Amino acid sequence: MKILKLIIILIPLLFIAQCAQFGQRAPSGQGISLNFLKNQPPIDLLYDNQNFRVGLELTNYGFKDTKASVCVYDTVADFFGGIPSNVCEQVQINAAEKSGNNIIPEVKQVYFPSKSQTYFYKEITKGMTTNIISDVIYPYETKANSQICIKRDENVKTTGVTCELSSAEQVIQDSAPLTVSNLKKDIIPRGNNEISLLITFDVQKTYGEILDKNKISQPTDEDKLIDINLNLKGITQNFICNPNKAGRIVFKENQKTIKCEAILTLSQDYIVNPLEIMINYAHKVSKSTGAIKLVIEEEI
Amino acid sequence: MKKTIIYILLISLVLFGGQCAQKQKAAEGPFVGGAKGVDIAFIAGSPPTEFSQTDTVPVKVLLKNNGEQDINAEDAQVKVYGIYYPNFGLLDQYKGTSSILRGITQFEKEGGEQQVEIGNLKYTQPVTNFEDITLRAKVCYPYETKSQIKACLGSLEIKEKGGEQICELTGEKVKSGSVSAAPIQVTSVNQKPYAANQILFEITIQNSGKGDVYDPSFGCIDFEDLVKRSDAENIVNVEVNPADVKCSFLESESNKGQIRLTTGKKILSCRKTVEATESNFEQNLNINLNYKYIDRASTNIKIREFTS
């Protein structure tokens, strides 16, 4: 009886332990995260003329060496000192490494104005607060893979393989700022071994802001354009995706459905081939200290 | 307690004895029998289940003839399929066997085996992390099913005139060992008197294997073509002897011709006129089937991204 009680207690504990372990797993390939280093700046209050620097820790979970644009700014006018407008720095951060199933992210620390220099607020008035904000913008490529079966006609035998003219397909991808979901394949036979292959999928934003990768240094809200390329490996990359604006996709929403089409000729009844979907864009992540109280001498 | 154990032991002995007696039961016909033809399987390690994208690995299959028909050199042909060949450095072509692939016999229970080297696989596409791929191969070979059925020849006329009844005029005539081991089987020959002086044979021909059957006059490469294949699919050449047996074939009524299996099966109706004799008698009805057969095998491989 005691053993039974022990088992009843142990089983939920095991489940909890396992879940906790999952929770601790490092996010894989999800780009760059941004955090303020402790007390850089102090997040509660800053005194008039108190020197401070902004220390940032960038963590790259992505598997590509990345050149990121890091900017800091505050919400107080330049007259009061603090952080001048448009303070940005280009930072090179190496790719994360894989060690078995684990991801070892690359960590880099960046200081503003520099490691040995500081900012300070001056001539502040009673009751003032500031908010120090940091942005990191970097190019990112989402890669999603799927094995799809393509057959040349409806009535061909595909013994041992489930191969329909229309089917939902499984997607394998690392987590990323933009992810691919609801992948669907439709084959339209055109005769003479020719088919039209339609690939439909949703592009979904997971976090941050999506921008045009060609405008990392001067991002604008006007054209949030991303590039989508499909590669039916070895066979064709000539997919035309819609809706497009001069060949690029406007991505202003949190989710968008994309339809891509290619014409293929098959000499066999069917083939199973990897399909790779690559989405290129810039990702912007912001971090704010929250309101920092600015304290004048009389208040001390 | 002791009694119970003794009873259990006795029952076990009886059961085992019965099973052995069943296994030793001799075939009533001249053939070993069975529904197997040429089996195909990837050879372990060729390709390995997992390798790096930079590796070049061999692809080999093993063919084993588990049927009763010998296959001449080059007649059994093998190719990989279902992949985009340039991605794997493999060729879109059949490779034939290098020597005869002997079938099983009453004396040789193990059929001939042969290894066919399809080529060397080198994945040419970029790999992110890994790619899981199912590699498939098929074997295409000509085959023959032979059968020797003891039919009962007689007629209602003989019966009604009081002729001696040596055998059963009506009923199933396929016995164990009356059909050779092959994927296409004669699974039933049901005979019955027809009109005054005729016997009707209802011959069931069935695809008892896992593969596909085609017209033997076509080449393996023809089955890649949708139009040619639809002409050849499920066609079996049938020859029934004695030659005066007339069957309803696709083209005409004869003792030889073609049938088309529908959902893997065809019941062929044949008739034979029986001369007036004093009694009915047993005679061999030889039904030979010729066809091309395609069977398949697959193996899963994982191609890993190269990391230095």
**Cis preceding linkage at A274, omega within 30:** no
Residue B20 placed within a domain: no
**Average pLDDT of span A247-260:** 92
> CA-to-CA distance for B104 and A54, rounded, in angstroms?
83
Residue B273 placed within a domain: yes
Distances (CA, A) of B169 to A213, B32, B151, B157: 87, 26, 8, 12
Interface of B with A (CB under 8 A): 81-84, 86-87, 92, 124-126, 128, 131-134, 136, 211-212, 224, 226, 296, 298, 307
Quick one: tokens of B45? 């390690």
Residue B43 placed within a domain: yes
- The residue count for chain B: 308
Q: Are residues B210 and B120 in the same domain?
A: no
Positive or negative: CA dihedral B23, B29, B34, B36 = positive
Q: Which residue of A has its CA nearest to B298?
A: A160
Asked if A268 lies within 8 A of B92 by C-beta distance, the reply is: yes
Q: How many CB pairs under 8 A join A and B?
A: 54
Chain centre distance of CA B18: 30
Backbone dihedral angles phi then psi of residue A18, each to the nearest 5 degrees: -65, -45
Neighbouring-strand partners of residue B148: B286
> CA-to-CA distance for B134 and B52, rounded, in angstroms?
16
Q: Are B265 and B204 in contact, with CB atoms under 8 Å apart?
A: yes
* Mean pLDDT value across chain A: 87
Asked if A143 lies within 8 A of B307 by C-beta distance, the reply is: no
Q: Are A272 and A161 in contact, with CB atoms under 8 Å apart?
A: yes
Q: A101 in contact with B at a CB cutoff of 8 Å?
A: no
Q: Are residues B156 and B274 in the same domain?
A: yes
The domain in which residue B70 lies consists of 38-142+295-304
Quick one: tokens of B222? 């023809």
B27: pLDDT strictly greater than 70: no
**C-alpha distance from A2 to closest chain B C-alpha (Å):** 35
Q: A214 in contact with B at a CB cutoff of 8 Å?
A: no
Q: Are residues B167 and B287 in the same domain?
A: yes
Asked if A234 lies within 8 A of B131 by C-beta distance, the reply is: no
CB atoms within 10 A of CB B110: 10
B141: pLDDT strictly greater than 60: yes
What pLDDT score does B200 carry? 95
Q: Are residues B251 and B122 in the same domain?
A: no
pLDDT digits (tens, 9 = 90+) for A150-163: 999 998 888 888 99
What pLDDT score does B10 carry? 56
Q: Are residues B274 and B149 in the same domain?
A: yes
Q: Are residues B128 and B154 in the same domain?
A: no
Confidence at A63, pLDDT banded by 50, 70, 90:
confident
Residue B107 placed within a domain: yes
> CA-to-CA distance for A249 and A280, rounded, in angstroms?
10
Neighbouring-strand partners of residue B284: B150
> CA-to-CA distance for A285 and A20, rounded, in angstroms?
27
Between A296 and A73, residue with greater pLDDT: A73
Q: Are residues B153 and B105 in the same domain?
A: no
Minimum-distance CB partner of B298 among A98, A160, A193:
A160
> CA-to-CA distance for B2 and A300, rounded, in angstroms?
100
What is the largest distance, in Å, between two alpha-carbon atoms of chain B?
92
Q: Are residues B131 and B78 in the same domain?
A: yes
Mutate to test the interface with A, among B40, B42, B84, B229 (most CBs of A within 10 A): B84
Q: Are residues B134 and B214 in the same domain?
A: no
> CA-to-CA distance for A129 and A286, rounded, in angstroms?
19
Residue B28 placed within a domain: no
Mutate to test the interface with B, among A99, A104, A151, A269 (most CBs of B within 10 A): A269
**Average pLDDT of span A273-279:** 96
> CA-to-CA distance for A42 and B290, rounded, in angstroms?
89
Mutate to test the interface with A, among B80, B93, B94, B128 (most CBs of A within 10 A): B128
Residue B84 placed within a domain: yes
DSSP state for residue B31 in the 8-state scheme:
S
Quick one: tokens of A133? 């904000």
Asked if A147 lies within 8 A of B83 by C-beta distance, the reply is: no
pLDDT digits (tens, 9 = 90+) for B79-99: 999 999 999 999 999 999 999
Q: Are residues B130 and B265 in the same domain?
A: no
Using alpha carbons only, what angle is made at residue A204 by residues A199 and A206, rounded to the nearest 5 degrees? 150
For chain B, the domain total comes to: 2
HSE-up of residue A122 (Cα within 13 Å, Cβ side): 7
Is B36 in a helix, a strand, or coil?
coil
Backbone dihedral angles phi then psi of residue A2, each to the nearest 5 degrees: -65, -40
pLDDT digits (tens, 9 = 90+) for A223-233: 689 999 999 99
Asked if A272 lies within 8 A of B125 by C-beta distance, the reply is: no
Q: Are residues B184 and B270 in the same domain?
A: yes
What pLDDT score does A6 carry? 53
> CA-to-CA distance for B231 and B222, rounded, in angstroms?
10
Q: Are B242 and B283 in contact, with CB atoms under 8 Å apart?
A: yes
Between A205 and A27, residue with greater pLDDT: A205
> CA-to-CA distance for A119 and A130, rounded, in angstroms?
13
Q: Are residues B137 and B148 in the same domain?
A: no
Q: State ipTM.
A: 0.75
What pLDDT score does A5 carry? 61
* Mean pLDDT value across chain B: 90
DSSP state for residue B229 in the 8-state scheme:
H
Q: For chain A, how big is the Rg over CA atoms in Å? A: 26
Positive or negative: CA dihedral B212, B215, B221, B226 = negative
The candidate with the shortest Cα–Cα distance to A84, out of A41, A58, A124, A113, is A113
Minimum-distance CB partner of B84 among A143, A193, A235:
A235
Residue B17 placed within a domain: no
pLDDT digits (tens, 9 = 90+) for B229-279: 999 999 999 999 999 999 999 999 999 999 999 999 999 999 999 887 778
Instruction: Find chain B residues with C-beta within 8 A of A98's C-beta.
Output: 307
Q: Which residue of B has its CA nearest to A149?
A: B82
> CA-to-CA distance for B9 and B15, rounded, in angstroms?
10
pLDDT digits (tens, 9 = 90+) for A8-43: 554 444 433 443 333 233 344 478 999 999 999 998
Distances (CA, A) of B47 to A34, B44, B117, B218: 45, 7, 11, 31
Residue B278 placed within a domain: yes
pLDDT digits (tens, 9 = 90+) for A124-139: 988 899 999 999 999 9
> CA-to-CA distance for B145 and B68, rounded, in angstroms?
8
**Average pLDDT of span A31-58:** 93
Which residue has tokens 């999928």? A201
Chain A, window 223-282: residues with a beta carbon less than 8 angstroms from a chain B beta carbon? 233-235, 267-274, 276
Is B106 in a helix, a strand, or coil?
coil
**Any idea what the CATH number is for the domain that residue B83 is in?**
2.60.40.10
First to last CA, chain A: 67
